[in-house]
Amino acid sequence: MGQFDMVKDFFLGISRSRISLIGGMLVTITTPFLVSYMLADTIWHIKNPYFGAAVYLALGPVFLGGLAMIFIGAFFFRGDRDVHLFTLQYLRRYFTEPDMFGRLRRNVFLIVLLTSVNFAVFSMFLYRAYHYMESTQFCGQFCHTVMAPEHTAYKNSPHSRVSCVECHIGSGADWFVKSKISGARQLLAVATGTYPTPILTPVHGLRPARDTCEECHRPELFHGDKLNVSKSFLPDEQNSVVSNVLLMKIGSAGDRAQSSHGIHWHVAPENKITYRATEYNRMVIPEVTLTQADGTVTVFRTADAEELLQETEQSGDEREMDCIDCHNRPSHVYLPPDDALDRKLSEGDIPQNLPYIKRQAMELITASYKTSNEARETISDGLNSWYKENYPQLVAEKPQLLESAVAGVVAAYAENVFPEMKVEWGTYVNHISHGPDFDIGCFRCHDDMHESPDGKVISADCNTCHTLLAIEETDPEILKTLQGQNL
Ligand code: HEC
Ligand code: HEC
Ligand code: HEC
Ligand code: HEC
Ligand code: HEC
């Protein structure tokens, strides 16, 4: 067996095992890139999602695999001479040799050093990779086309500074693990092109809002009413402005001094509301159950509830109402076409003094397009040719009016419609209100048709949720009063 030198034997073992050699090569090649990228990322917070993916999802695992191969190779390699390293026989002999202890000390030192270097690289890798996978760049931009709708809508929302994981994962190890399992499934779906278009909603595995939204918001501290003023533009020549003024009964989820009331009464701990929907989208809700703190249970049902629930597979799927049943679009806000244009007109991205722009834009953005490029070109050509034909003088005198209108209208479309992912107008409905069409929101329950055995109904009375101070009025009196002009 010759001289015992564990370190020498170790390297000899590695050099004789092909597996270890390949592993060693992989580690040597990847380490400089990995370490320098991780240092750069720590210092400068690199925002490019593809660099991150290359390093943390490809290079990193190669490095880890290389390390593992070195040891596996050395462990299993049974060559001739002193490379039975890690076999029981070798170790037994090694430790029973009388003059081994001096040598052992040196080896231990070396092993500790090597191991701590590896451990440092390894833990830094885990730490950075964890941050990368929790980053908005990774969630929102890595699978570019697939997440384009959600990421775009998110960027234009009040939550654009809240990272994806704060709503989709939240804190705690169990949801972290769950999210990584479902994340791996999603990556696979993207790699194999088997993801659904559009991406399904509602997200049935979403974490209860109590653990996410309520980390930042406290509806028990809400109080009173909130004035809600919105402007819209009519499809006439002047793009006339009309206003809605609503006093929203925001209410409170109830705290020490105040009892729960108004809109946030639903999320008070003493009012538990569960409901059963007939389909995946939770649009048709035939049965609602209210359980109060004193034990009173009230079941509200529509006349056809029995029949509807029997027909469906989902009838057993009972859900407890939380923030998401109203605020289902706190972050991915897709506006209806009318609102999308009104907003651009209000913000001045589309000039309000271009005649008929609301009407013409509405016609163009609601047409159906196969790709984003086709939409952009058709909208642009459509506006240019219509204005050149009908307002040639205006276009000649103030070309910038038409130019900025085109940009604004194209943006109104591109922020809300994604033909590549089959996200059209209205694909993702918002439940926070009650629209005239598919977006019935609150009216899924509040329709005067859900009745309890003793004849109580979930109210559709217009004053339950708001006081209507002005509806589509030009220059409403109430606004003048509020602004002090009527004094
Ligand atoms: C303020 C909280 C919040 C943030 C931040 C957030 N989301 Fe969401 N997300 C939601 C809610 C709520 C839903 C809809 C849940 C439902 O209806 O079941 C949703 C739904 C989704 C869906 C399903 C499709 C859809 O539109 O319903 C995807 C995909 C998604 N989010 C991705 C992301 C990505 C990527 C980010 C970061 C760029 C992000 N989310 C940030 C709250 C959030
Ligand atoms: C990490 C903290 C955080 C989390 C988590 C969070 N929000 Fe918010 N939310 C904010 C902040 C900050 C604002 C204020 C943004 C502003 O005014 O521009 C806000 C604003 C809002 C608003 C008012 C929006 C408006 O148009 O004025 C609503 C409604 C809301 N959040 C609901 C939710 C819901 C529902 C969830 C859970 C799905 C949630 N938030 C999760 C921080 C958070
Ligand atoms: C029954 C439906 C419903 C539920 C459930 C609900 N909200 Fe609201 N929330 C509303 C409505 C409606 C508004 C007013 C929207 C408006 O007109 O601006 C609102 C307003 C808000 C605002 C803005 C308040 C302000 O004064 O500007 C926040 C923040 C908010 N909700 C958070 C939450 C959170 C967090 C939860 C869950 C604990 C929740 N909401 C549950 C319907 C609901
Ligand atoms: C899943 C069903 C459901 C949905 C969706 C729903 N509600 Fe309710 N809501 C109820 C029930 C049940 C009651 C209690 C009815 C009763 O006891 O008279 C209620 C009561 C209320 C009340 C009266 C609370 C009080 O002070 O007693 C308000 C205000 C209200 N809802 C607002 C809204 C708004 C606004 C929306 C939409 C953003 C909405 N609700 C969506 C089920 C629902
Ligand atoms: C269950 C609660 C509830 C009931 C009942 C209700 N509304 Fe509303 N309404 C809302 C909410 C929530 C909004 C959204 C406010 C916002 O834009 O944030 C809204 C918005 C509106 C708007 C403004 C729409 C816009 O685009 O600005 C009008 C108009 C309106 N409601 C009329 C009515 C009328 C008329 C009735 C009676 C038939 C009624 N509502 C009953 C909750 C309710």
- Span 7-18, pLDDT tens digits: 777 777 777 778
83-97, 160-174, 239-253: which has the minimum mean pLDDT?
A: 83-97
Q: Which pLDDT score, from 0 to 100, does residue 340 have?
A: 97
375 lines ligand 4 (CB under 6 A): no
Distances (CA, A) of 16 to 9, 28, 76, 88: 10, 17, 11, 19
How far apart are the C-alpha atoms of 393 and 399, rounded to whole Å? Answer: 10
421 lines ligand 4 (CB under 6 A): no
In this structure, the residues whose C-beta lies within 6 A of any atom of ligand 1 are: 136, 139-140, 147, 150-151, 154, 159, 162, 164, 166-168, 199, 201-203, 206, 324, 328, 330-332, 428
52 lines ligand 4 (CB under 6 A): no
- Tell how far the Cα of 260 is from the centroid of ligand 3, in angstroms: 14
Q: Which helix (DSSP H) or strand (DSSP E) does residue 144 occupy?
A: helix 144-155
- Span 371-409, pLDDT tens digits: 999 999 999 999 999 999 999 999 999 999 999 999 999
How is residue 360 written in tokens?
């013409």
Atom 38, ligand 2: which residue's CA is nearest? 213
Atom 21, ligand 2: which residue's CA is nearest? 158
Q: Which atom of ligand 4 is nearest to the CA of 431?
A: 38
- Span 146-157, pLDDT tens digits: 999 999 999 999
464 lines ligand 5 (CB under 6 A): yes
Q: Which atom of ligand 3 is nearest to the CA of 253?
A: 38
- Tell how far the Cα of 437 is from the centroid of ligand 5, in angstroms: 13
Residue of 324, 445, 449, 462 with the most ligand 4 atoms within 8 Å of its CB, for mutation: 445
Which phi and psi angles does 179 have, rounded to 5°? -70, -30
| pTM over the 0.85 mark | yes
pLDDT band at 3 (very low <50, low <70, confident <90, very high): low
Atom 11, ligand 4: which residue's CA is nearest? 458
How is residue 86 written in tokens?
């890690």
Residue 258 vs residue 128, higher pLDDT: 128
- Tell how far the Cα of 328 is from the centroid of ligand 1, in angstroms: 9
Instruction: Look at residue 423 and tell me whether its pLDDT is greater than 90.
Output: yes
Instruction: Look at residue 145 and tell me whether its pLDDT is greater than 60.
Output: yes
Q: Which residues make Cβ contacts (< 8 Å) with residue 454, sequence separation at least 6?
A: none
467 lines ligand 5 (CB under 6 A): no
Q: Which ligand is nearest to the CA of 217?
A: 3
pLDDT band at 473 (very low <50, low <70, confident <90, very high): very high
Q: Which pLDDT score, from 0 to 100, does residue 431 have?
A: 95
**Cα–Cα nearest to 9, from 134, 98, 137, 100:** 100
Yes or no: say if 34 and 61 are a contact pair by the CB < 8 Å rule: no
Q: Which atom of ligand 2 is nearest to the CA of 163?
A: 1
442 lines ligand 4 (CB under 6 A): yes
In this structure, the residues whose C-beta lies within 6 A of any atom of ligand 3 are: 209, 213-214, 217, 219, 222, 226, 228, 248, 250, 263-264, 266-267, 322-323, 325-327, 432
Instruction: Look at residue 421 and tell me whether its pLDDT is greater than 70.
Output: yes
Instruction: Look at residue 474 and tell me whether its pLDDT is greater than 90.
Output: yes
- Tell how far the Cα of 248 is from the centroid of ligand 4, in angstroms: 13
Please list, residue by residue across 131-153, b when 16 or more beta carbons sit within 10 angstroms of its beta carbon and e when fewer do.
ebbbbbbbbbbbbeebbbbbbbb
Helices within 6-99 (DSSP H only): 6-16, 18-44, 49-52, 60-76, 88-96
26 lines ligand 4 (CB under 6 A): no
Q: Which pLDDT score, from 0 to 100, does residue 469 have?
A: 96
Q: Which pLDDT score, from 0 to 100, does residue 345 have?
A: 97
Q: Which ligand is nearest to the CA of 444?
A: 4
- Span 73-129, pLDDT tens digits: 777 765 555 455 556 676 677 777 777 666 777 777 877 887 788 788 888 888 888
Over residues 277-298, mean pLDDT = 93
CB atoms within 10 A of CB 448: 11
Q: Which ligand is nearest to the CA of 322?
A: 3
- Span 40-65, pLDDT tens digits: 988 888 888 888 888 888 898 999 99
164 lines ligand 4 (CB under 6 A): no
- Span 304-355, pLDDT tens digits: 998 888 887 655 678 999 999 999 999 999 999 999 999 999 999 999 999 9
Instruction: Look at residue 1 and tell me whether its pLDDT is greater than 50.
Output: no
Residue of 169, 210, 213 with the most ligand 2 atoms within 8 Å of its CB, for mutation: 213
- Tell how far the Cα of 290 is from the centroid of ligand 4, in angstroms: 10
